[in-house]
Amino acid sequence: MPDLERAGTAAVGISPDKPEKQKKFADKYGLGFPLLADENREIAEAFGAIRGPIIPGTNIGKIVRSAFLIDEDQKIAEAWYNIKANDTVPKAMAALAL
């Protein structure tokens, strides 16, 4: 996070989890960025992050862990699907050429 902040880049996490669950997660892992709730999965759908098979017993697809680098014009400059959490910052830093 400090490297991204020095580059003038902010991080935001978004998941379909309820805010209470996100807070517990953020507290447990000491996240230094906000987590937003996408309980209706509209953001995940818009960003193409629902790619997995249908969850049994539902009509809902699984969300694929994804990361996006949004430029100053609010356009997606880079997109990474099926990304591991530990790879997110290094890939963002490489894309920012830092």
Longest dimension (CA), the chain: 45
Whether the predicted model's global pTM rises above the 0.85 cut: no
Distance separating alpha carbons of residues 95 and 98, to the nearest angstrom: 8
- Tens-place pLDDT, residues 32-48: 889 999 999 999 999 99
Which amino acid would we find at residue 4? L
Decide if 70 contacts 47 (C-beta within 8 A): no
Instruction: Say if CB 47 and CB 36 are below 8 A apart.
Output: no
Radius of gyration of the chain (CA): 14
Tell me the pLDDT tens digit for each residue of 78-87. Answer: 999 999 988 9
- CATH homologous superfamily of 2-95 equals Glutaredoxin (3.40.30.10)
